């Protein structure tokens, strides 16, 4: 139901994979299944290693993407979410720009996931 394109200096070229409806996996699990080297460590929303930037190809149909308290708190600590983005996420169901790949579930929409692939943040 959704094309997810991974883009990174670590990849020779962008990789687009098709996420199957009902799969309900996270961006990180999709990346791992397709051998896309998104860095990760805890896989539990605690460390921030898996920080990625998510672009929505069709902004008008941006789906509400659940932002857990845990993900929100860590993004805050990392300085990767603004007050406005928190408001938009909580009130308007608009997803913020940066996400934790281990916490962010793939939905029925086409997205581009950008990551650096080293210890620097995207
Ligand atoms: Fe630690 Fe995602 S792997 S926050």
CA dist., res. 103 & res. 108, Å (int): 16
Q: Indicate whether residue 42 lines ligand 1 (CB < 6 A).
A: yes
Q: Closest ligand 1 atom, CA of 39? A: 3
CA dist., res. 65 & res. 49, Å (int): 20
Q: Dig out the tokens for 40 from the structure.
A: 């990760």
ipTM computed for the complex: 0.99
Please state which of the four CATH numbers 3.10.20.30, 3.40.1550.10, 3.30.930.10, 3.60.150.10 is assigned to the domain occupying 2-114: 3.10.20.30
Residue 51 C-alpha from the chain's centroid: 7
pLDDT the model gives residue 79: 97
pLDDT the model gives residue 33: 93
Q: Closest ligand 1 atom, CA of 41? A: 3
Catalogue the long-range contacts made by 71-76 (C-beta closer than 8 Å, 24 or more residues apart): 71/45, 71/99, 71/100, 71/103, 71/104, 74/45, 74/46, 74/48, 74/100, 75/99, 75/100
pLDDT the model gives residue 104: 92
Instruction: Please report which residue ranges of the chain form alpha helices under DSSP H.
Output: 27-33, 69-77, 83-92
Residue-wise DSSP of 19-31: EPTT---BHHHHH
In order along the chain (122 residues), what is the average pLDDT of each group of 10 residues? 91 92 81 95 96 85 73 96 92 89 89 81 48
Ligand 1 center to 98 CA (angstroms): 13
Ligand 1 center to 5 CA (angstroms): 20
User: Which of the 8 DSSP states describes residue 105?
Assistant: B
pLDDT the model gives residue 57: 82
């Amino acid at each position: 139901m959704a094309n997810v394109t991974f883009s990174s200096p670590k990849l020779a070229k962008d990789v687009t994979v098709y996420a199957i409806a009902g799969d309900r996996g996270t961006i990180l699990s999709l990346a791992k299944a397709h051998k896309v080297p998104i860095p990760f460590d805890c896989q539990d929303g605690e460390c921030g290693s898996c920080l990625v930037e998510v672009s929505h190809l069709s902004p008008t149909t941006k789906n509400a993407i659940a932002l857990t308290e845990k993900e929100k708190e860590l993004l805050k600590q990392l300085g990767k979410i603004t007050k406005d983005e928190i408001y938009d996420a909580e009130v308007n169901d608009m997803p913020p720009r940066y996400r934790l790949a281990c916490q962010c579930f793939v939905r029925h929409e086409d997205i581009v996931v950008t990551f650096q692939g080293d210890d620097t943040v995207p």
